[in-house]
A and B are shown apart, each in its own frame.
Chain A
Amino acid sequence: MGLVKAQSLTKVFRRPQKGPGLRGSVKHLFQRRFKDVPAVNGIDVSIEAGEAVAYVGPNGAGKSTTIKLLCGILVPTSGSVEVAGVTPHVDRIANARNIGVLFGQRSQLWWDLPVRESLGLLRDMYDLPKGFYQQRIERLDEVLGIGELMPVLARKLSLGQRMRADLAAALLHQPRIVYLDEPTIGLDIAVKDKVRKFLRELRADGTTLMLTTHDLGDIEDVCERIIIIDEGRKIFDGPLAQMKDSFARTRRMHLHITDGTPMDVIAKHLSTADVSGEGSEVTIAFDRFAHTAGQIIAAVLQVAEVGEFHLDEPAIEDVVRKVYAGELLV
């Protein structure tokens, strides 16, 4: 019995079909043609109370549309949704009390108002008692540091500050179910860490969490289950560990060699990894189950001097693409 349930959830958008240029646009005024674009196509999801689920897929896969369907912003074309016993798009207000939503690309703070005023307005809408509100603000200040942001106008906030304030706004009423659509988009490492830490604490409190992101770090830090979708269809649903072990094995290390050691010397030395590159810039791809990054760098240092280096984690998108292209079998 899931807390969030969707059955053969489908959302079809109708898009006008126009020819290119002015001619096409004018023609469309008289000859209206539309094309049905399924953004979400028969998705079944069931999320238990207290689960933290990562919802991933390439751009345009239908992630945000699913989230909007689950929180009642959009009305499904067909299929059903039930969240905590409520059909979100029918009983919108009852649903709103159960959920917290953050769209990372967009703020819900009132543009010309200080953060404090925005939170005050939300307090009124959610009927939060004064004591509870104070307590929540203190708690949110502890983990997100919103205290210093309270007197600042929303339009004067930096992206990181805005995201912190928006998280506070979304979670002010302590919702049981939280949907986060790209909560770390555009954030620097320090703020990202803060946000992730906060999400972990949310989970520890027993909040049900659904998170869309392109950042593997977010997922590893916070979620234990992952759902992958592409072109509106679910293509994987299972434990994160299983997916990673199966698909996301390859890490890449990029090095700048300072002593002119030729690439093939390094390649010969690292027989189990894949070495490529040009001149002093070398890339080493390796299986993260076979080696740690430390082992690789230690091995390279035996034969060459290294200036700079950095590490690429396996990107979720790559995995998704591979799964979809049939290179990886789910």
Chain B
Amino acid sequence: MFRTMRIYRRSLGAHFRSLLEYEADFWVLIVAGAMFNALNLLFLSAVFAHVPALNGWSYAEAVLLMGVWSVIGGLSPLFFEGVWRLSWMVNQGTLDYPLVRPAPVTVQVFSSGIGLHGVGDIVTGGAMLGWALFHVDVDWTPLTVVIGLVLLASAATIHLSIIAITNAATFWISGPHPFLAIAVHTFEDMIKYPLTIYGAGIRAVYTFVVPFAFVTFFPVSWLLDRSAGWVGLLGPLVAAYCVWLARTVFRRGLRRYDSSGH
């Protein structure tokens, strides 16, 4: 485990240095990430300028939700950007070398890139989160903090697992671009707002099929002690299930990998 982490860290570090080869990109990406979140917040504020609450959610509560979404959304490009390169690797057959090295293929693939826009996401998301936590009504106890952090970690795990699973579809679909993953990732955009504003169909899909609701809505509902907030406590279970599913899909997928050439 420690060995895997070390390889992960070293590999990310190396890619970070390679990123610095292109300095302009470095700044463009960070600023772009921050801008994207600023625009989201601007939109949310514009909505709240007209209504006092969104389906029972106050402005601060909605910002909290969006903050969680931005922070989690920023972690994956920063630490797992390589997963988006899987389709290309499978299509081009460049997974050959990772398969003959003594480290998990997932570690080598996931750490094969860094998306610096994640920095912008995390900084602005963190700011939103910080501001909102001061303005929402929560009875803070040490237990709340611990459970809150566990749920945040679970949320990040679920988010990443879904990205990993949809990207691994490439082993079956085999195009050079991860269109399925991109499509699903786009739908994830909807969870930056309270899930209750959507219809029953979408709520069901986001709870049972692609459990995006466990990334933002349920954990935040638990923290705010809303009705059905207890569902949020299932986060770690859902996370474990998602990790198991991702591992299984990857294992099966790698067995199907047919390289390129003859």
User: Which residues of A are in contact with B by a Cβ distance under 8 Å?
Assistant: 13, 39, 59-60, 62, 64-65, 68, 71-75, 89, 92-97, 99, 101, 103, 105-106, 108, 110-113, 117, 120-122, 124-127, 153
Contact = CB atoms under 8 A, between A and B. Distances in A.
B17 interface: yes
A125 B7 contact: yes
A71 B102 contact: no
Nearest to B255: A75
A39 B17 contact: no
A122 B14 contact: no
Contacts of B97: 101, 103, 106, 108
Given A97-B102, A121-B7, 17 more contacts: A64-B262, A72-B99, A73-B96, A75-B255, A92-B99, A93-B102, A93-B103, A93-B104, A106-B97, A108-B97, A112-B21, A113-B18, A117-B17, A120-B14, A121-B10, A122-B101, A125-B7
Of listed B3, B18, B104, residue having the most chain A CB within 10 A: B18
B12 to A, nearest CB: 11
Contact of B11 (A62, A68, A108, A121): A121
Assign chain B's interface to a size class. 20 to 34
Nearest to A118: B14
22 contacts: A64-B262, A65-B262, A68-B96, A72-B99, A73-B259, A93-B102, A95-B100, A106-B96, A106-B97, A108-B97, A111-B18, A112-B19, A112-B21, A113-B15, A113-B17, A113-B18, A120-B14, A121-B14, A125-B7, A125-B102, A127-B3, A153-B21
B6 interface: yes
B261 interface: yes
B103 A110 contact: no
Nearest to B262: A60
Interface string B240-262: 00000000000000010111011
A127 B103 CA distance: 10
A111 B15 CA distance: 10
A117 B14 contact: yes
B257 A74 contact: yes
Given A75-B255, A113-B18, A64 B100 contact: no
Given A62-B262, A64-B262, A96 B14 contact: no
B40 interface: no
Nearest to B92: A106
A112 B19 CA distance: 8
B100 A125 contact: no
A126 B102 CA distance: 6
Interface string B5-39: 01100110011011101000000000000000000
Of listed A39, A62, A99, A103, residue having the most chain B CB within 10 A: A103
Interface in B54-108: 93-97, 99-104
Contacts of A106: 93-94, 96-97
B262 A113 contact: no
Of listed B19, B97, B103, B262, residue having the most chain A CB within 10 A: B262
B258 A13 contact: yes
Given A106-B94, A112-B21, A72 B100 contact: yes
Contacts of B10: 120-121, 124
A53 to B, nearest CB: 18
A39 B96 contact: no
Contacts of B95: 73
Contacts of B21: 112, 153
B102 A96 contact: yes
B105 to A, nearest CB: 8
B122 to A, nearest CB: 24
A303 B125 CA distance: 89
A71 B99 CA distance: 9
Of listed B15, B17, B19, B103, residue having the most chain A CB within 10 A: B103
Contact of B259 (A74, A99, A110): A74
Contact of A73 (B6, B7, B14, B100): B100
Nearest to A62: B262
Contacts of A92: 99
B258 A74 contact: yes
A156 B257 CA distance: 30
A71 B100 contact: yes
Nearest to B107: A125
B111 to A, nearest CB: 10
A117 B10 CA distance: 10
A153 B18 CA distance: 9
